[in-house]
Structure 1
């Protein structure tokens, strides 16, 4: 399976602190956390799309359609599980309609986008055993948080390069 190129929205410093606090809570509870991901580009983000390849037109469209809406406030309003036997734990984001429309339009113009539709979220943990989910939800709590999405980046895994758009 090819490595996926991605376009991602990044929170500002305060938003990163909110997400990293959740990552730390999970680690302190002894369950998987994104803090366990050692990749140099691992940082809180919201994936706009992932595809086997992106071209300069995709980047230009992303800058025109999405980057122009930034900064934008979103609300982390709930916890969801994605996956099967092992799950990803995510905070689901309420995003303004204008951002959702722009992202869906962008996604419709990029070839071979992974996954249908768009579920805006921030990943807190990956590959968690379902037996650990109750503990994760307990330590994360139930309070909403407001994040400001401040920038857009492109991840090129083939070249190992992150580019701000």
Structure 2
């Protein structure tokens, strides 16, 4: 399976702190956490799209369509599970409609986008056993969190380069 190139929205510093606190809460509870991801580019982000390849035209479209809607205040309004036997634990985001429309417009113009539609979320942990989900939800709590998405980046896994658009 090819490594996926991605376009991602990044929260401001305060939003990153909120997400990293969640990561730390999970680690402190002895659960999987995104803190366990050792990659140099691991940071809180919202994936706009992932595809086997992205070109300069795709980057320009993202800058033209999505970037004008930033900064955008979003609300992390719930916890969800993605996956099968082992799951990703995520905070689902309420995103302003104009940004949602821009992302869907962009996704419709990029070839071979992974996954249908768009489920805006922040990943807190990957590959968690379903048996541990209750502990994770208890540790994370049920408070809604508001954060601000401020920038857009492109991840090129082949070159190992992050480009801010």
For residue 76 of structure 1, report the CA deviation from its aligned partner.
0.2
Instruction: List aligned pairs for 1:29-48, cutoff 5 A.
Output: 29-48=29-48
| Aligned match of 1:158 | 158
Q: Match for residue 85 of structure 2?
A: 85
Tell me, in whole angstroms, the C-alpha distance in 1 between the residues paired with 2:147 and 2:124: 14
CA distance in 2, matches of 1:27, 1:132: 12
1:105-151 residue CA offsets vs partner (Å, 9 max, x unmatched): 00000000000000000000000000110000000000000010000
Distance in 1 (alpha carbons) for counterparts of 2:56 and 2:74: 28
Matches within 5 A, 1:131-146: 131-146=131-146
Once the two structures are superposed, residues 78-118 of structure 1 have per-residue CA deviations (whole angstroms, 9 ceiling, x without a partner) of 00000000000000000000000000000000000000000
Q: Where has structure 1 moved over 2 Å in runs of 4 or more? A: none
* Residue 58, structure 1, aligned to residue 34, structure 2: no
- Structure 2 length-normalised TM: 1.00
CA distance in 2, matches of 1:8, 1:135: 29
Shift of 1:64: 0.4
Q: RMSD in angstroms over aligned alpha carbons?
A: 0.3
1:24 corresponds in structure 2 to 24
**TM-score (normalizing by structure 1):** 1.00
Aligned residue for 1:91, secondary structure, equals strand
- Secondary structure at 2:76 match in 1: strand
How far the C-alpha of 1:68 sits from its partner, in A, is 1.1
Residue 122 of structure 2 corresponds to residue 122 of structure 1: yes
Per-residue CA deviations over 1:30-60 (Å, capped at 9, x if unaligned) read: 0000000000000000000000000011000
Aligned residues between the structures: 165
Q: Give the unaligned 5+ runs of structure 1.
A: none
